[in-house]
Amino acid sequence: RTECGGDESTYSRLASKRAGATEVRPNLASMKTEQFEGFEILYGTSAAQNDEISTRLSEPDDFWFHAAGYAGSHVIVRNPDRLRELPRSVEKRAAALAITNSKAKTAKGKIEVHVAWARDVKKPKNFPPGKVLLNSHWSVKAYASDAE
Protein backbone atom coordinates (compact mmCIF):
# COMPACT_ATOMS: atom_id res chain seq x y z
CA ARG A 1 0.00 0.00 0.00
CA THR A 2 1.17 3.47 -0.83
CA GLU A 3 0.11 6.77 0.74
CA CYS A 4 -0.32 9.60 -1.72
CA GLY A 5 -1.07 13.30 -1.53
CA GLY A 6 -1.51 15.57 1.37
CA ASP A 7 0.21 18.76 2.33
CA GLU A 8 -0.66 19.95 5.81
CA SER A 9 -0.35 23.61 4.81
CA THR A 10 -2.97 23.36 2.05
CA TYR A 11 -5.67 21.28 3.73
CA SER A 12 -9.06 22.84 3.88
CA ARG A 13 -10.80 22.10 7.14
CA LEU A 14 -13.80 19.80 7.14
CA ALA A 15 -16.20 20.04 10.05
CA SER A 16 -16.15 17.02 12.33
CA LYS A 17 -19.19 14.77 12.10
CA ARG A 18 -18.55 13.64 15.68
CA ALA A 19 -19.03 17.18 16.90
CA GLY A 20 -22.51 17.13 15.38
CA ALA A 21 -21.60 19.40 12.47
CA THR A 22 -22.29 18.56 8.87
CA GLU A 23 -19.51 17.89 6.41
CA VAL A 24 -18.36 20.89 4.41
CA ARG A 25 -18.55 20.06 0.69
CA PRO A 26 -15.81 21.40 -1.57
CA ASN A 27 -16.45 24.13 -4.09
CA LEU A 28 -16.67 22.09 -7.27
CA ALA A 29 -16.92 25.21 -9.44
CA SER A 30 -13.13 25.54 -9.51
CA MET A 31 -12.61 21.84 -10.26
CA LYS A 32 -10.98 21.41 -13.65
CA THR A 33 -12.29 19.26 -16.46
CA GLU A 34 -11.15 18.86 -20.05
CA GLN A 35 -11.68 16.65 -23.06
CA PHE A 36 -8.59 15.13 -24.64
CA GLU A 37 -8.79 12.78 -27.62
CA GLY A 38 -12.31 11.78 -26.61
CA PHE A 39 -11.51 11.17 -22.92
CA GLU A 40 -12.85 13.27 -20.05
CA ILE A 41 -10.14 14.30 -17.58
CA LEU A 42 -10.99 15.77 -14.14
CA TYR A 43 -8.67 17.22 -11.52
CA GLY A 44 -9.03 19.17 -8.32
CA THR A 45 -7.51 22.44 -7.24
CA SER A 46 -7.75 21.76 -3.49
CA ALA A 47 -7.39 18.87 -1.08
CA ALA A 48 -11.17 18.76 -0.56
CA GLN A 49 -11.76 18.61 -4.32
CA ASN A 50 -9.18 15.83 -4.61
CA ASP A 51 -11.18 13.86 -2.05
CA GLU A 52 -14.40 14.48 -3.96
CA ILE A 53 -12.86 13.42 -7.27
CA SER A 54 -11.10 10.35 -5.87
CA THR A 55 -13.84 9.03 -3.61
CA ARG A 56 -17.20 10.23 -4.93
CA LEU A 57 -16.95 11.20 -8.60
CA SER A 58 -14.69 8.45 -9.90
CA GLU A 59 -15.98 5.11 -11.16
CA PRO A 60 -14.13 1.85 -10.36
CA ASP A 61 -12.68 1.48 -13.88
CA ASP A 62 -11.49 5.08 -14.18
CA PHE A 63 -7.75 5.76 -14.18
CA TRP A 64 -6.30 7.80 -11.27
CA PHE A 65 -3.01 9.79 -11.49
CA HIS A 66 -0.89 11.64 -8.89
CA ALA A 67 2.68 13.00 -8.92
CA ALA A 68 4.66 10.58 -6.74
CA GLY A 69 6.10 12.18 -3.61
CA TYR A 70 4.55 15.62 -4.15
CA ALA A 71 1.42 17.34 -2.89
CA GLY A 72 -0.87 18.06 -5.80
CA SER A 73 -3.95 17.30 -7.83
CA HIS A 74 -5.61 13.94 -8.11
CA VAL A 75 -6.35 13.40 -11.80
CA ILE A 76 -9.08 11.08 -13.06
CA VAL A 77 -9.45 9.90 -16.64
CA ARG A 78 -12.96 8.62 -17.25
CA ASN A 79 -13.07 5.11 -18.68
CA PRO A 80 -16.67 4.31 -19.66
CA ASP A 81 -15.49 1.71 -22.20
CA ARG A 82 -13.58 -0.12 -19.45
CA LEU A 83 -10.32 -0.14 -21.40
CA ARG A 84 -7.49 -2.13 -19.81
CA GLU A 85 -5.02 0.63 -20.73
CA LEU A 86 -5.19 4.18 -22.00
CA PRO A 87 -3.78 5.34 -25.31
CA ARG A 88 -0.20 6.51 -24.65
CA SER A 89 -1.02 10.12 -25.57
CA VAL A 90 -3.89 10.26 -23.04
CA GLU A 91 -1.75 8.66 -20.32
CA LYS A 92 1.01 11.17 -21.04
CA ARG A 93 -1.45 14.11 -20.89
CA ALA A 94 -2.98 12.96 -17.58
CA ALA A 95 0.45 12.37 -16.05
CA ALA A 96 1.59 15.83 -17.15
CA LEU A 97 -1.53 17.42 -15.63
CA ALA A 98 -0.76 15.64 -12.35
CA ILE A 99 2.74 17.13 -12.47
CA THR A 100 1.82 20.68 -13.50
CA ASN A 101 -0.84 20.84 -10.79
CA SER A 102 1.53 19.72 -8.06
CA LYS A 103 4.61 20.94 -6.25
CA ALA A 104 6.62 19.02 -8.89
CA LYS A 105 5.72 21.59 -11.57
CA THR A 106 9.16 23.25 -11.41
CA ALA A 107 11.17 20.03 -11.08
CA LYS A 108 13.64 19.21 -13.81
CA GLY A 109 13.52 16.05 -15.89
CA LYS A 110 10.94 13.30 -15.93
CA ILE A 111 8.77 12.94 -12.84
CA GLU A 112 7.31 9.68 -11.58
CA VAL A 113 3.51 9.62 -11.52
CA HIS A 114 1.50 6.95 -9.72
CA VAL A 115 -1.35 5.47 -11.74
CA ALA A 116 -4.09 3.30 -10.26
CA TRP A 117 -7.54 2.04 -10.97
CA ALA A 118 -9.96 4.30 -9.10
CA ARG A 119 -11.26 1.19 -7.29
CA ASP A 120 -7.80 0.85 -5.68
CA VAL A 121 -7.82 4.39 -4.23
CA LYS A 122 -9.05 4.36 -0.63
CA LYS A 123 -9.64 7.12 1.88
CA PRO A 124 -9.18 5.90 5.48
CA LYS A 125 -11.28 7.85 7.99
CA ASN A 126 -8.26 9.16 9.89
CA PHE A 127 -6.52 10.57 6.78
CA PRO A 128 -6.53 14.34 6.28
CA PRO A 129 -8.11 15.92 3.18
CA GLY A 130 -6.20 15.14 0.00
CA LYS A 131 -4.42 12.07 1.33
CA VAL A 132 -5.35 8.60 0.10
CA LEU A 133 -4.09 5.04 0.25
CA LEU A 134 -3.41 3.06 -2.91
CA ASN A 135 -4.04 -0.68 -2.67
CA SER A 136 -2.26 -1.19 -5.98
CA HIS A 137 -0.60 1.09 -8.52
CA TRP A 138 1.94 1.32 -11.31
CA SER A 139 4.12 4.23 -12.36
CA VAL A 140 4.75 6.22 -15.50
CA LYS A 141 7.20 9.05 -16.06
CA ALA A 142 6.43 12.33 -17.79
CA TYR A 143 7.61 15.90 -18.15
CA ALA A 144 5.56 18.84 -16.92
CA SER A 145 5.92 20.27 -20.43
CA ASP A 146 3.87 17.36 -21.83
CA ALA A 147 0.77 19.25 -20.64
CA GLU A 148 1.45 22.20 -22.96
- Over the stretch 38-94, which tens digit does the pLDDT of each residue have? 999 999 989 999 999 999 999 999 999 999 999 999 999 999 999 999 999 999 999
3-state secondary structure of 146: helix
Q: 25 versus 140: which is more confidently predicted?
A: 140
pLDDT value at residue 16: 34
Distance, CA of 2 to CA of 25 (rounded, Å): 26
Distance, CA of 47 to CA of 51 (rounded, Å): 6
Position 38: which residue type?
Answer: G
pLDDT value at residue 94: 97
pLDDT value at residue 30: 65
DSSP state letter for 55: I
CA 67 remoteness from chain centre: 8
pLDDT value at residue 87: 97
- Residue 58, C-beta contacts closer than 8 angstroms, at least 6 positions apart: 64, 76, 118, 121
pLDDT digits (tens, 9 = 90+) for 1-54: 556 665 432 223 333 333 444 454 555 556 889 999 999 999 998 999 999 999
- Residue 16, C-beta contacts closer than 8 angstroms, at least 6 positions apart: none
Model-level pTM greater than 0.85? Answer: no
Within 10 angstroms of residue 38's Cβ, the number of other Cβ atoms is: 8
